[in-house]
Structure 1
Amino acid sequence: MKQLQNLRDAIIRAHTRGKKQNEIADFLGISQGTVSRTIKRYEETGSNDNRKREKTARTPENIQLAREAIRQNSSSKANSTRKLAKKLGIGHDAAHKILKKDLKLKPFKLLERQKLTAAAKLKRLQRCRDLLDRFDKNRHRMIIFSDEKLFDIQQAFNRQNDRIWAEEPPDTEKRVAERVQKAESVMVWAAISARGKTPLHFVDQGVKINRQVYADMIREHLLPYAEQDFEGENWCFQQDSAPAHKANDTQAMLEEKCPDFITRDQWPPYSPDLNPLDYSVWSILESKACEKPHSNVASLKRALEKAWDEISVEMLAKIVDNFPKRLKKCVDANGGYFE
């Protein structure tokens, strides 16, 4: 036992001096996994001593203290296993077992969402009800949805879900998705429906999408697509409430050029969760085109166009068919968060 404690001490001394895990493992002649576990435990508990035995740590007193801590901080991001372990003075594993086995709790991730005021929730509720009535009986398949998104040349990744599976912890450099401030980027506009999609439109660098620029995009990209895929049918155009979209000139142009459109007073405010491009298409595009970092914007554009071409009409139809389901969920949530 003493020999094991001495080994742990040696690992931590080397770690605090800035040595890498693989260097420590090679020097001490042990596996990198042993080094990783020792450092992890030290960072979690602040100690390199032997853990308290599980049956000692999971006492009725600690279980009750954990229950009270959870109740007091049930909606707090500070309510983590690590912080609970520190508060109770027990190991991370013991705290985790108290939460899972003794208290029968499940972990849930925090979600990042648009801020919704009471007034915004009420508008969402009322307008979702109206849209459900307006586009019942599969009439939502006549909507052309549109949106803009800024893509940059950096690698896209999901902090929660992206993982590297390996027998031993990989070198830090292999796990890093590098980020820089003010990375080169490009603004993209596109529109989709259950029948297809427009080409991607790249907004030139330095061009602000004002009402005139936006009107030109509608004339040059939306209307030719709509004429091709809907052949004179009464399609409906959707857009969000960005300043260029809700300008009086824009609204007047859409009323003249489109058989039907969702006005600035009809689309629910603060609702990216209701636009198929936002809740699905952009993520698909980003995961494919930005799987690896790009050296410049030209490379990014080529990757975006390739990924865009790979999105099938069948996939778009399934995504668009989720629109009325999401309207219903929003109504059930009284205009609040529903996912």
Structure 2
Amino acid sequence: MKSKDLQNILLSKYQNGDTPTKMFRDLNGGIGLRTIKRWCQMILQSGSITLSSPPGCPRLARAKGNIRKIKNRLRRNKRVSARKLSLELDISETRVRRILKSDLGLHPYKKFVEPLLSDDQKIKRKKFANWIRTNFRKEETMRILFSDEKFFDIDGVYNSQNDRVWAIGRADADKNGGIKQKRKFPQKQDGAKPNSHHLTQQWCRDRWPPNSPDVNPLDYSIWDELVNTINWNKVQSKTTLIQQIKSSFKNIRESVVFESCASFTDRLYRFCQNDGNYLR
């Protein structure tokens, strides 16, 4: 859309009584909020938008300046959305995205959340993988019954949708804050016998690798499938949360369950290949 068209749209919205913030949202970041406020001030004073210089050659200089501003801003912290850059630097969101991708060659990467593993835990993970692969055939592992517990609250789950790291590749993103590590799950149990029985606890200590949700299909696949089927807009209380969880179980795809369990032995092989590190 040309600059003159944007000016006419903004003038019309101003005459309709729209606020600068509403104009910014309606234009989906096509113009920076600071620019909208400046244009609204022009309309208030003169009844029109009068720019000091027409678009032309200086535009190239401004583009170079914008590239430099965005580049310097990312040097301080790469964890920022294009929308926030647009607001902070007073550059349209469309132009910000174009500069990030076309001029700087960057891509937005989601932040991964993964357990914080010690060297001893990595050794135990490899030991567990070798034990399963040595003593069980693949078809036998398909008969394993996996168990787990999941805590939900009415605030939903951590959503990394708007948490991006701008980088030239995944490895570069990981080095610049693309991984959020967390410690072992909080010590909570519901008191059920399968959880608290001393034989169960002893088996887990002897066999099951610590801090390893990436080896349990419920953790690395099924819970995520369930979370994505819940209608979080309907979750307003504990009662509605329980209702949504119960109804969402019916919507879990069988193919996801079978595929996640079938990938169990493949993950064990990858444990041995990547020195016991976390699998994404």
Same fold, judged at TM 0.5 (above): yes
Number of paired residues?
A: 237
Structure-2 residue corresponding to 1:141:
142
Aligned to 1:182: none
User: Structure 1 residues 155 and 250 mapped into 2: Cα distance closer, same or farther (>3 Å)?
Assistant: closer
Give, in whole Å, the separation in 2 of the partners of 1:251 and 1:120. Answer: 17
Query: Is the CA contact (8 Å cut-off) linking 1:156 and 1:287 kept in structure 2?
Result: no
Letter in 2 for 1:115: L
Letter in 2 for 1:265: D
Q: Quote the Cα distance in structure 2 between the aligned partners of 1:29 and 1:67.
A: 31
Whole-Å separation in 2 of the counterparts to 1:88 and 1:42? 8
- CA–CA distance in structure 2, aligned partners of residues 45 and 29 of structure 1: 13
1:82, 1:25 → 2: CA distance? 26
The 2-side partners of 1:62 and 1:34 are apart by: 19
Q: Which has the higher helix share?
A: 2
| Match in the other structure for 1:173 | none
1:250 aligns with 2:194: no
Q: Is the partner of 2:148 in helix, strand or coil? A: strand
Is residue 85–residue 91 contact of structure 1 (8 Å, CA) maintained in 2? yes
CA deviations 1:159-206 (Å, max 9, x no partner) are 628xxxxxxxxxxxxxxxxxxxxxxxxxxxxxxxxxxxxxxxxxxxxx
- Residue 325 in structure 1 maps to residue 266 in structure 2: yes
Q: Give yes or no for contact 2:86–2:92 (8 Å, CA) kept in 1.
A: yes
Shift of 1:337: 3.2
Within a 5 Å distance, the mapping from 1:1-339 to structure 2 comes to 26-27=16-17, 36-37=26-27, 41-43=31-33, 48=38, 55-59=60-64, 77-78=78-79, 81=82, 92-153=93-154, 158=159, 160=161, 209=189, 213-215=191-193, 218=194, 244=195, 248-251=198-201, 263-294=204-235, 297-311=238-252, 314-339=255-280
2:246 maps to a residue whose letter is E
Q: How far 1:321 moved relative to its partner? A: 1.0
Q: Describe the shift of the 1:69–1:289 C-alpha distance in structure 2 as closer, same or farther (beyond 3 A).
A: closer
**Deviation of 1:149 (Å):** 1.3
Equivalent residue, structure 2, for 1:170 = none
Structure-1 separation of matches of 2:95 and 2:261: 46
Asked if the contact 2:33/2:87 (under 8 Å) is kept, the reply is no
- For the aligned residue pairs, the C-alpha RMSD in angstroms reads 4.8
The code of the aligned residue for 2:257 comes to L
Change (3 A) 1:263 1:313: same
Describe the SS at the equivalent of 2:152. Answer: strand
TM-score, structure 2 as length reference? 0.59
The Cα shift of 1:144 comes to: 0.6
Q: Which moved more, 1:123-132 or 1:38-47?
A: 38-47
Which amino acid counterpart does residue 161 of structure 2 have in structure 1?
Q
- CA drift of 1:338 comes to 2.9
Q: CA deviation at 1:300?
A: 4.1
Structure 1, gaps ≥5 residues long: 12-21, 162-207, 219-243, 253-261
Q: Is the 1:57–1:90 contact (alpha carbons within 8 Å) kept by the matching residues of 2? A: no
**Which digits, 9 at most, give the CA deviation of each residue in 1:18-55, with x for residues without a partner?**
xxxx9x6742699x666633877444789747799653
Q: Distance in 1 between matches of 2:118 and 2:248?
A: 36
- CA drift at 1:141: 0.5
SS in structure 2 of the partner of residue 263 of structure 1: helix
Paired residue for 1:192? Answer: none
